Amino acid sequence: MGRTPCCDKKGLKKGPWTPEEDELLVNYIKKNGGHGSWRSLPKLAGLLRCGKSCRLRWTNYLRPDIKRGPFTVEEEKLVIQLHGILGNRWAAIASQLPGRTDNEIKNLWNTHLKKRLLCMGVDPQTHEPFTSHCPALEAPAFPSTRHMTQWESARLEAEARLSRESSLFNPSFGKSDADFFLRIWNSKVGESFRKFNATDKNTCQSPISQGSSSTKCGSVSAITMEIVPSSAGPSTTASNQNEDAECKSSKSYIEDLMAVSDSSSSNDLELEDSSDTALQLLLDFPINNDMSFLEGNIDKYETCTAMLAENSYICSL
DNA sequence: AAGCATGGCAACCGCCGACGT
DNA sequence: AACGTCGGCGGTTGCCATGCT
């Protein structure tokens, strides 16, 4: 029963690839117009490797469309945003960054972005602010975390909203919210969203808001966090004064979301309407919030690390 | 200059879903 | 239906380069 055994691992080479091996693999794939069966490839190409090793080498290193060089700020932002939605689904995240491999993104996350979020007082796994697990990163030292809690509430609401919308948008689509998000992300709707996010977020002129009956721009702007650098110290007077207004904004944001939900569920939705709604959801989606706070705090990383060391705080991850 | 610590990254390992027999 | 492989994926490891003492 079943197929014949994959490959006899005895005598197969492991470890780093030599230039000669790379050449053999590349030449074989070029010559045959593709890799074909990975299982039979090593033998046909004259390699003493298992098919799995060949596949990994090709997809992570030798593929001609691999983008070399450091990640741009935009790419890093995108990785953080997508990780917030998709979690550790590196392949799914990589599919949104042309030329980048899942391994590369995974390494980027584990070596850079995770630390950066930790420094920001954000749990890199849940993207939620830390609570009592890490005293050094609690609200007093990081006033921004209070804002982020409010922000997170709105985000969760929007995720729930997305989930509900998914069944209206495409009833046959029964996968996760994350998958639904990717579908929108890759659609023209998502394209519009990204363009708006990149160019028009400051002017509040979303392509759809201009034509729709009710704009969510106001609430989006209102809820946008003001990230205070950690060096600003414990909660400032200004942030206290703004707290009420921010809470109200959060409330109105959620009310807006619910209003959209009610209207959409009570009407007969045509595809175009759903697309508009989907775009609006993307515009409302809290990842739309400017991630520049990360840039602004990159420089704070070393300071933060020093502070943590100085206070002998140990964060349990 | 030597030894040690740290960070970055390529590669391996093990698991899982899809699919062939 | 059961078994086994393939291909893909995420987690982890180990090597190497660099910086620090």
- Give the C-alpha separation, A207 to A283, whole Å: 10
Residue nearest to nucleotide C14 (CA to C1'): A15
Which nucleotides of chain B have an atom under 7 angstroms from any protein CB? 7-14, 20-21
* DSSP letter, residue A261: H
Q: Are A34 and A67 in contact (CB under 8 A)?
A: no
Q: Give residue A131's pLDDT.
A: 59
Distance CA A144, CA A231 (A): 12
H-run or E-run covering A85: helix A73-86
Walk along chain A (317 residues) and give the pLDDT tens digit of each residue.
333 334 445 678 888 898 888 888 888 888 888 888 888 888 888 888 888 899 889 988 888 888 878 888 888 888 888 888 888 888 888 888 888 998 999 888 888 888 888 777 777 777 777 654 443 333 333 434 444 444 444 444 444 444 444 434 443 443 455 666 666 666 766 666 566 555 544 433 333 333 333 333 322 222 223 222 333 333 333 333 333 333 333 334 334 433 433 343 333 333 333 434 444 444 444 443 344 444 444 444 444 444 433 433 333 33
Strand B atom within 7 Å of A1 CB:
yes
Contact A143, A240 (CB under 8 A): no
- What does the pLDDT read at residue A180? 64
| Å separating the CA of residue A13 from the C1' of nucleotide C12 | 20
Instruction: Please name the residue whose C-alpha is nearest to the C1' of nucleotide C13.
Output: A15
Q: Is the CB of A59 under 7 A from strand B?
A: no
Report the number of secondary-structure helices (H) and strands (E) in chain A: 15, 0
Note the pLDDT of residue A212: 33
Whole-angstrom distance, CA of residue A293 vs CA of residue A302: 16
Instruction: State the burial class of residue A189 (Cβ atoms within 10 Å of its Cβ: 0-12, 13-18, 19+).
Output: buried
